[in-house]
Amino acid sequence: MSKQDYYETLEVSKGASTEEIKRSYRRLAMKYHPDHNQGNEEAEIKFKAINEAYEILKDEQKRAAYDRYGHAAFEQGNNGNPFDFGFAGGLGDIFSEVFSDFMGGGRQSTKASGSIDGENLRYDLEISLEEAYSGMEKEISFPSEKICDKCNGFGTKDGKKPPICSTCQGSGRIHRQHGFMIMETVCPECGGYGYKAKDICSECNGKGKKSFTKELKIKIPAGVEDGTRIRLTGEGIPGINGGVNGDLYVFISIKEHKLYNREGKDLFVQIPVSMVCAALGGVVEIPGIDGHKIEVKVDAGTQTGTKLKIKGEGMPKIRSIDKGDLWVEFKVETPVNLNAKQKELLEEFRSVSEDDSCQPAEKTFFEKIKDLFAA
């Protein structure tokens, strides 16, 4: 199974309570239980995934480690790592633990076949708003692992499948008695693998995999939004011996733009205009997000806060030919640092504007407060 986020797998939020997690697990486990989905491989994979997720999230300590380190906290081959909980503490069978009140057993051993699934990987990619507008292909490289070619991924010296583990007879599980209870746990000898090599491969130290830098060309669709997660199936850590390859998740973030703010498919820009331009009208030129020049008409008498919609100059909608709009908001700028000549002209302007009819809002305001003074 490929490793999805455990919270997503259980369809709960990160802040979910233990009770909520348990409830959601019960519901999903019922839905995907093999007894109700005979021969449905997808349901089986899903069932295994929710069991694995629940095994971690129901345990406070493991959940905390997962919150902090993600799947890396429980990776194979992490023995000696303080966050490898090893499943050796007598976990028992969660499924029957939760369902024992109204259902039989039915747990599936996930590893007795000897296969190990690969981990998912995450890659964070920051792009510009222009790149999000046009879409693009991007070469990325990241640390990953590949199957060891010397041992074919078996981790054995002879490169062949290792013999069956003598402790668990290949089941990957052992039974332990705790008082009156018999608990089933993961075999500590083979780690649940079911097979145990006598001589390990010197090239990969028995891991079956080697680190390398993976290079990949990825396609970012036009119109992609900040926070989008692109899943590249099978591009994560490879699985071993028939195990499923992990996926690569590319998390897209979009850099802040100098000019534009984005909301969905629409773009927003604030344009400062001079007092004179706002009064007499004019044209302001701005660069569109696609680089072409946009002429924005300023009507005579434009006020601060006046908005204008320019159709089709926003972002593209993903997988569509539709485009959003560009919203312009004007901000009238009061002139500062006037020279003598400018002051003189403005004084003259004032002297011919005594009746205030060119400032209707100001006129109304002073009429209102005149009444208040009189009261």
Largest CA distance in the chain: 105
- Shortest reach from residue 187's CB to Zn ion, in Å: 3
Q: How far is the CB of 209 from Zn ion (least distance, A)?
A: 8
Least distance CB 241 / Zn ion (angstroms): 13
Residue closer to Zn ion, measured from CB, 151 or 224: 151
- Residue 197 interacts with Zn ion (CB under 5 A)? no
Q: Which residue in 116, 168, 240, 310 binds Zn ion (CB under 5 A)?
A: 168
CB of 183 to Zn ion, least distance (A): 16
Interacting stretch for Zn ion, rule CB under 5 A, among 48-56, 83-91, 168-176, 219-227?
A: 168-176
To the nearest whole angstrom, how small is the minimum distance from the Cβ of residue 238 to Zn ion?
13
Of 204, 248, 250, 315, the residue at the interface with Zn ion (CB under 5 A) is 204
Q: Does position 116 bind Zn ion by CB under 5 A?
A: no
Give me the residue label for tokens 């449905």.
40
| CB contact set of 78 (below 8 Å; sequence gap of 6+) | 84
- The encoded tokens of residue 260 equal 């534009």
Instruction: Give the interface size with Zn ion as a residue count (CB under 5 A).
Output: 12
* Of 101, 117, 102, 126, nearest in space to 48 by CA: 117
In 222-369 the beta strands, taken as DSSP E runs, fall at: 229-232, 248-254, 261-263, 266-274, 282-287, 293-298, 307-310, 326-333
Identify each DSSP E strand in 168-325 by its residue range: 173-178, 181-186, 209-220, 229-232, 248-254, 261-263, 266-274, 282-287, 293-298, 307-310
Please provide the distance, in angstroms rounded to a whole number, between the alpha carbons at the two ends of the chain: 80
Shortest spacing between CB 92 and Zn ion, in angstroms: 17
> Looking at 59, 189, 266, 325, which residue binds Zn ion (CB under 5 A)?
189
Residues 6+ apart with CB under 8 A from 332: 272, 273, 274, 275, 278, 302, 303, 304
Q: Residue 190, interface with Zn ion (CB under 5 A)?
A: yes
Contacting Zn ion (CB under 5 A), which of 78, 96, 109, 167? 167
Contact 122, 4 (CB under 8 A): no
| Part in contact with Zn ion (CB under 5 A); list of ranges 108-116, 142-150, 219-227, 341-349 | 142-150
Q: Distance between CA 222 and CA 261 in Å, rounded?
A: 17
Q: Exactly one of 201, 220, 277, 315 binds Zn ion (CB under 5 A); which one?
A: 201
Least Cβ distance, residue 215 to Zn ion (angstroms): 22
Beta-bridge partner residues of 116 = 240
- Subset of residues 169 to 188 that bind Zn ion, contact rule: CB under 5 A: 187
Q: How far is the CB of 165 from Zn ion (least distance, A)?
A: 3
Segment near Zn ion (CB under 5 A), from 3-11, 42-50, 160-168, 350-358? 160-168
Of the listed pieces 203-211, 218-226, 302-310, 334-342, which binds Zn ion according to CB under 5 A? 203-211
Q: Which stretch binds Zn ion (CB under 5 A): 32-40, 64-72, 157-165, 356-364?
A: 157-165
Tokens of 22: 């348990």
Q: Under the criterion CB under 5 A, does residue 203 sit at the interface with Zn ion? A: yes
Give the residue with the Cβ less far from Zn ion, 173 or 262.
173
Nearest distance from residue 86's CB to Zn ion, in Å?
Answer: 13
* 150 sits near Zn ion (criterion: CB under 5 A): yes
Rounded to 5 degrees, φ, ψ at 200 are -95, 160
| Contacts of residue 113, Cβ cutoff 8 Å, sequence gap at least 6 | 194, 241, 242
Question: Among 125, 141, 120, 146, which residue's Cα sits nearest to residue 216?
Answer: 141
Q: How far apart are CA 107 and CA 109, in angstroms?
A: 7
160/229 with CB nearer Zn ion: 160
Of 307, 314, 359, nearest to 129 by C-alpha is 314
State the residues that interact with Zn ion by CB under 5 A: 148, 150-151, 165, 167-168, 187, 189-190, 201, 203-204
